[in-house]
């Protein structure tokens, strides 16, 4: 959150690190409390020049953690430079942030804060999206509570709310989107009619709807897995889950094309099936890999020759050493050649003095004994 005392404006950015969704807006100071109540963030980031008591005065119902960050990170120039570098662009215009300095500053400071906590590239944060409060019907906290949109008065949680009744989403992404729609009612007629047209089309073709719901259910929470991949925290089993989701997404795209290519033209054009990633995972990852990268057995045999040799050493070291000894006997013509091991030199090759003249130049002498080297 970035607050301007002179303009009485606030820049507000919110980031879901688990999905990479990154939004920002600019709003009047008197609108801030209601928007924070709607977002219900787990943590609020403010610069060190803002009095912590100011945030507490907002009287937020869910009592979030308030974190103080360095004031210089909230300087517009610093925030802009970081956003440009992270997204690899020369201007913030594609994100709608070029003429919204307060929102851009809040977004840049948020990104800097997350980067200070996680020492890995946040490649899953691929875009910054602007939203305006004027695009949606504004519902204050009292209205949201009385309407029981996402939390019931009786239970104080999702159970018994409107969301719990109407949410028949087949994916976690769908459930999160539906919640956003309930908290952001549309007011533009064109947008309302466009949404209704899609709902109507599905209702008229119930057989197609049922088929598409099957594919959606198989996709799972792909956004969170992609997020873990982007932050380098994904495990081998999640990679197989990602492959399964990509296959289901390919089937979904095909079904949408059959159902109504015109109606879903924009969606279809954005649905990349990532067949190269599917093929890479299929070639590399074992069918039943461990849950952590420290256990071994992640990669398929044949994926990489060097890796196969190392795996063979781990699982059948004695046979590998025996083959190495036979190979060296054959190449050097030294029948008495032996491969041994001790704690001083590790693995070594022993050759009797009788065959010393046959030792190849690439052998490195370490020790000379009475009858051997």
Which CATH number characterizes residue 6's domain?
A: 3.30.420.110
pTM over cut 0.85? no
Q: 5 pLDDT band (50/70/90 cuts)?
A: low
Q: How many domains does the chain have?
A: 3
Angle of the 206-219 helix axis to the 189-204 helix axis, nearest 10: 100
Using DSSP bridges, classify how beta strands 2-4 and 9-16 pair: parallel, antiparallel or unpaired.
antiparallel
6 and 131 assigned to the same domain: yes
pLDDT tens-place string over residues 74-86: 899 999 999 999 9
Token pair belonging to 105: 């500053």
80 and 34 assigned to the same domain: yes
pLDDT tens-place string over residues 236-247: 999 999 898 888
Which CATH number characterizes residue 329's domain?
A: 1.10.1420.10
The pLDDT of residue 37 is above 90: no
Q: 122 pLDDT band (50/70/90 cuts)?
A: confident
pLDDT tens-place string over residues 280-334: 999 999 888 888 888 878 898 888 888 888 887 777 778 888 889 999 999 999 9
Stretch among 45-54, 131-140, 225-234, 319-328 having the lowest mean pLDDT: 45-54
The answer for residues whose C-beta is within 8 angstroms of residue 356's C-beta and 6 or more apart is 373
Label residues 254-288 b or e (16+ Cβ within 10 Å = b): ebbeebeeeebeeebeebeebeeebeebeebbeee
Q: Which domain holds residue 366?
A: 317-373
The answer for residues whose C-beta is within 8 angstroms of residue 27's C-beta and 6 or more apart is 9, 10, 12, 35, 133
The answer for residues whose C-beta is within 8 angstroms of residue 124's C-beta and 6 or more apart is 19, 20, 226, 227, 229, 230, 231
In a domain, 250, yes or no: no
93 and 159 assigned to the same domain: no
């Amino acid at each position: 959150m970035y607050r301007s005392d002179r303009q009485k404006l606030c820049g507000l950015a919110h980031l879901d690190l688990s999905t990479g969704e990154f939004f920002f807006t600019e709003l009047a100071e008197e609108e801030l409390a209601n928007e924070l109540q709607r977002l219900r963030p787990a943590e609020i980031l403010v610069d060190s020049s803002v009095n912590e008591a100011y945030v507490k005065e907002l009287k937020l119902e869910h009592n979030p953690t308030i974190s103080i960050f360095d004031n210089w990170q909230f300087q517009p120039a610093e925030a802009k430079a970081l956003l440009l570098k992270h997204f690899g662009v020369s201007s913030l215009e594609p994100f709608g942030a070029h003429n919204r300095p307060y929102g851009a500053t809040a977004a840049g400071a948020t990104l800097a804060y997350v980067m200070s906590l996680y020492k890995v590239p946040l490649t899953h944060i691929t875009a910054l999206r602007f939203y305006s409060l004027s695009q949606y019907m504004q519902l204050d906290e009292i209205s949201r509570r009385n309407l029981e949109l996402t939390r019931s008065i009786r239970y104080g949680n999702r159970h018994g709310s409107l969301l719990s009744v109407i949410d028949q989403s087949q994916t976690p992404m769908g459930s999160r989107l539906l919640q956003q729609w309930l908290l952001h009612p549309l007011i533009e007629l064109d947008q309302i009619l466009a949404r209704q047209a899609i709902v109507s089309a599905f209702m008229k073709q119930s057989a197609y709807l049922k088929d598409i719901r099957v594919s959606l259910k198989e996709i799972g929470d792909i956004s969170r897995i992609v997020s873990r991949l982007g932050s380098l925290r994904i495990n081998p089993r999640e990679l197989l889950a990602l492959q399964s989701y990509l296959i289901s997404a390919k089937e979904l795209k095909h079904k949408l094309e059959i159902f109504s290519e015109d109606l879903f033209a924009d969606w279809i054009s954005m649905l990349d099936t990532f067949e190269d990633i599917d093929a890479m995972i299929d070639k590399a990852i074992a069918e039943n890999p461990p849950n952590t990268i420290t256990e071994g057995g992640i990669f398929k045999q044949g994926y990489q020759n060097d890796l196969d040799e190392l795996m063979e050493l781990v699982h059948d070291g004695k046979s590998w050493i025996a083959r190495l000894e036979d190979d060296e006997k054959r190449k050097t013509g030294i029948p008495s050649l032996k491969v041994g091991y001790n704690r001083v030199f590790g693995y070594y090759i022993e050759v009797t003095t009788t065959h010393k003249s046959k030792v190849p130049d690439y052998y490195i002498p370490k020790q000379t004994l009475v009858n051997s080297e």
